[in-house]
Each structure stands twice: as C-alpha cells, then as structure tokens.
C-alpha cells in the first residue's frame, strides 16, 4: 500500500530475493531524487530512493549487483537492534576508543575499582562494591571525554581566536554536541569512541556556533574554513553512530 509523506515523495513496502535470502525494503519515489540511492539504518532497514519515473527493472538489477553489501549491512542492523545488557560485555571483548579497538581485560580487586589503558588493552579492576563492568566502562569513557574534549576545545578555539565559557560532558541520545547562547559547549561522551579527526570535526562544529548560532549558509561556509573535510567527518558519524550507541546502550 502506498503512503504519501508529502507532495514530493511516496513510499511503499517491497520484497526481493538476494542470494537466496528474502528481504523487505522501503521504496521511496521522490521528485527531488536524480538517481538511485540506497540507505541502510537500524531504525528503518533498507530504503531505496528513486526518481519518480525510475525503471523498476533497473532497481532489481542494482539490488542483485549489491546483494552482498545489502545483506551484510542488514545483518549488522539486526545485531544493533537486539537488546543488550552489561553481561554482553566480558573480559576479552573489544570496545572502540579513538577509532581503534581496545581489548577489555577484567580482574577482581580488593583495592577498589578502576580502569587504565595500557597499549591496546583496557585493564579494568572490579572491587567488591562495583556496580558491574558496564557502569565502570561508561565512567572511564566519561573521564576520557572530559579530558580530551576540553583539551581540544582549548587548542582549537585558541588557534581560531575564539572564546567559549565551559565544556560539559553529557549522554545525549540524539546529539554529538551543542553550543548554548551562554557559549557553553556540550559533548556526548561516546564521541571519544570515534577517530580523532571526527572528534575535531564535532568540536569545530560547535566552535563555529560561537560566531553563527544557526545552520544557515553562513554557518556552513564558516565551518568549511575551520574543517574543510567536514562532510566526510559528518558522514562517518552518520554511518557509524548506531554502532557506537550500541556499545553501552542507555
């Protein structure tokens, strides 16, 4: 059944068989689309965006050619949608930090709880009163975020001749960062899971708001001066953000 979202697009559910596996996807016909585009997200699954008069036979051929890519990303989305608990993470598992995989090494301790990064291993000590591995990892991430993001905000703002008030670390569900009218910068603690260039993009994005408290053309032009590759950095967050959120779900 076709459902009209607005005057320029319509959506409908479709089915296909890729490499012997039956899938369903959303077909979106858009007057604004100039070519075929595929999107795969945990919250929506596979979406195929096509121009109004697109030949569906071409879509079938394209899906067959991209079958491995589509099935691989749908499988990843299924995994990300599964509910998780602290018990899912254990000693020997890996978690992301600054774009790299860090292996967790857990040990029980009589001297309290704590976490320390040593090379490619995160050494986690759990004391008798510890709330568990999940809360300990979040606490460690928050500490790293507070130190790293404050340092980068100081360094980058100084190089650009900008002044902000303070940096706050939060656990926003839908934002990586924000800038208030009081010039306070807020960042999501999960941001330290991302590569350094992506972290710098988010910091520069919020610093640009110190001059342009909006998302007009002037803002994006200013951001391009601060971070010429901002589009690539933003795309990385869009593509990998659900993976980072699934490490330690709220």
pLDDT in tens, 18-36: 888 888 999 999 888 888 8
> What is the per-residue pLDDT for 192?
97
Q: Which helix (H) or strand (E) holds 81?
A: helix 67-81
- So what's the pLDDT on residue 236? 94
Query: Which pair of structure tokens corresponds to residue 141?
Result: 């991430």
Is 39 exposed, middle or buried, given 0-12, 13-18 or 19+ CB atoms closer than 10 A? middle
128-154 pLDDT, tens digit per residue, is: 566 678 888 999 999 999 999 999 999
Reduced to 3 states (helix: H, G, I; strand: E, B; else coil), residue 132 is coil
DSSP at 210: T
Distance, CA of 243 to CA of 94 (rounded, Å): 13
Quick: pLDDT tens for 183-198: 999 999 999 999 999 9
Domain boundaries, the chain: 3-81, 88-247
Q: Which CATH class is domain 88-247?
A: alpha beta
Sequence-ordered alpha helix ranges (H) in 161-229: 196-208, 217-226
Structure tokens at 132: 């568990």
Residues of the chain with pLDDT under 70: 1-8, 42-43, 76-77, 79-87, 108-112, 127-131, 250
Give all strands of the β-sheet with 114-118 in edge-to-edge order: 94-97, 100-108, 121-126, 114-118
How far the first Cα of the chain sits from its last, in Å, is 35
Distance (Å, rounded) from C-alpha 248 to C-alpha 193?
11
Helix axes 217-226 and 230-247, enclosed angle (nearest 10): 90
Find, among 190, 117, 211, the residue nearest to 202 by Cα.
190
How large a percentage of the chain has pLDDT more than 70? 87
């Amino acid at each position: 059944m076709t459902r009209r979202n607005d005057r320029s697009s319509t959506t409908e559910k479709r089915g296909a068989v890729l490499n012997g596996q039956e899938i369903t996807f959303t077909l979106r016909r858009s007057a604004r689309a100039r070519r075929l585009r595929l999107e795969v997200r945990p919250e929506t699954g596979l979406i195929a965006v096509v121009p109004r008069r697109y030949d569906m036979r071409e879509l079938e051929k394209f899906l067959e050619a991209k079958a491995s890519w589509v099935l691989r990303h749908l499988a990843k989305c299924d995994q990300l949608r599964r509910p998780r608990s602290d018990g899912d993470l254990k000693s020997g598992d890996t978690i992301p930090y600054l774009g790299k995989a860090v292996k967790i090494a857990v040990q029980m301790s009589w001297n309290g709880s704590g976490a320390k990064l040593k090379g490619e291993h995160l050494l986690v000590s759990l004391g008798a009163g510890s709330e568990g591995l999940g809360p300990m990892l979040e606490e460690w991430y928050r500490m790293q975020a507070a130190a790293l993001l404050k340092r980068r905000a100081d360094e980058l703002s100084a190089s650009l001749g900008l002044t902000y008030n303070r940096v706050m670390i939060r656990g926003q569900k839908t934002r990586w960062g924000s800038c208030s009218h009081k010039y306070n910068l807020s960042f999501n603690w999960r941001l330290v899971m991302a590569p350094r260039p992506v972290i710098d993009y988010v910091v520069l994005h919020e610093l640009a708001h110190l001059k342009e408290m909006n998302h007009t053309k002037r803002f994006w032009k200013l951001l391009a001066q601060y971070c010429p590759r901002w589009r690539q950095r933003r795309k990385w967050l869009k593509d990998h953000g659900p993976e980072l959120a699934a490490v330690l779900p709220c």
